Amino acid sequence: MTFAKDDKKGRQPRVKDLIIADPGLVLDDVEVLQALAAVRNDRLGENVIDGRGMAISRLEQELKQLQEENKLLKEVLHENSDAVHRIHLAALSLLETDDTGRLGDFIDGELPKVLKVEKIRLLLDSSVDGGIPELLTRIATGPIDASVRRGYLDPVKGTPERVILRQISKTPTQVYGEDGPRIRSEALLPIAVDGLGLIGVLVVGSSRSESFRPHMSTELLELIGKVFAMTVVRLST
C-alpha cells in the first residue's frame, strides 16, 4: 500500500486523511498491520512483554492451520464424492450386464477403469459343496494353490459379510500376474450365493497404497460384491 506525499500547498491528501476516510486501507492489509506491530514492539523495550502481540501471533498461526485443514477437508470430501459416484456407476453397469460372455470382459476391463484400480480377479473356493455356477468357473482365476487360499479365501470365511481392506508390499503372481509388483493395496469382496454360502472372493488391487486402508468405510464395496453375486445368479438361471 502506497500513499502520495503532501506538497507545500497541500494538494495531495495526507496519509492520515486517507486512513480516516477508509480505515480498511490499513485494517485489510496484513503486511501493514504486521509492520505497525513490529514498530510498536521495538519501542516497548526488552523488559516489556506485549501480551496482545503474542496473542495476535498465536491467532495468526491458528488461522493458518485452520485454512490448511479446511483445504485438506475439501480435498477429502471431493475424493469421497468421486468414489461414491464411481462405485454406484460400477453397480449399475453390473446390473445392466445381460450377457454371460461379457461378464468376464467387464471384470477384466471396464470395472477396473470405473473403480480406478489396476486389477480385479475372481478367486473361487473349490471346496464348496453343491458346486459353483459354471459361469464363475469360466471367468475365475485359477486353480489357486494353498498359499493363495490362506492369504485370500481364509481371511473372509470368518466374516463373509465384511469387506477386508489392506495395504500390501508383496503379492502372489498367481493372483495379479505381471501386475503383481505394482499392487500396493487391495480389497477382498466376499462373494456369497444363496444356498451355497461363501463361494469365493473378488480381489480388487490398486497401485496406490492409500486406495484401501483398514480404517476406511466398506459399505459401498460391499454393495459391489452383493450386486456381482446377484448378477451371477441372474445370468446362471
Query: Residue 190: how many CB atoms within 10 A of its CB?
Result: 24
Of 213, 133, 228, the residue nearest 168 (C-alpha):
213
pLDDT at 96: 79
* Spatial separation of the C-alpha atoms in residues 221 and 226, rounded to whole Å: 9
Q: Which domains does the chain have, with CATH numbers?
A: 1-48 (no CATH), 73-236 (3.30.450.40)
Give alpha helix (H) positions in the chain. 15-21, 24-27, 30-44, 51-96, 100-105, 111-115, 134-139, 146-148, 154-157, 173-176, 219-236
Query: To which residue does cell 495526507 refer?
Result: 14
Average pLDDT score, the chain: 76
DSSP for 174-195, please give it: HHHGGGGGG--EEEEEEEEETT
Residue 9's φ and ψ, nearest 5 degrees, are -90, 0
195-225 per-position pLDDT tens digit: 777 888 899 999 998 888 888 888 888 888 8
Q: Residues 107-122: what's their mean pLDDT?
A: 85
Q: Residues 93-108: what's their mean pLDDT?
A: 78
User: Is cis: bond before 133, omega within 30 of 0?
Assistant: no
Q: Dihedral through CA 39, CA 41, CA 45, CA 46, nearest 10? A: -130
- pTM equals 0.62
127-167 per-position pLDDT tens digit: 766 667 777 777 777 667 788 888 888 888 766 668 899 99
31-75 per-position pLDDT tens digit: 777 776 666 555 555 554 555 666 666 677 777 777 777 776 666
Of 204, 141, 202, the residue nearest 173 (C-alpha):
141
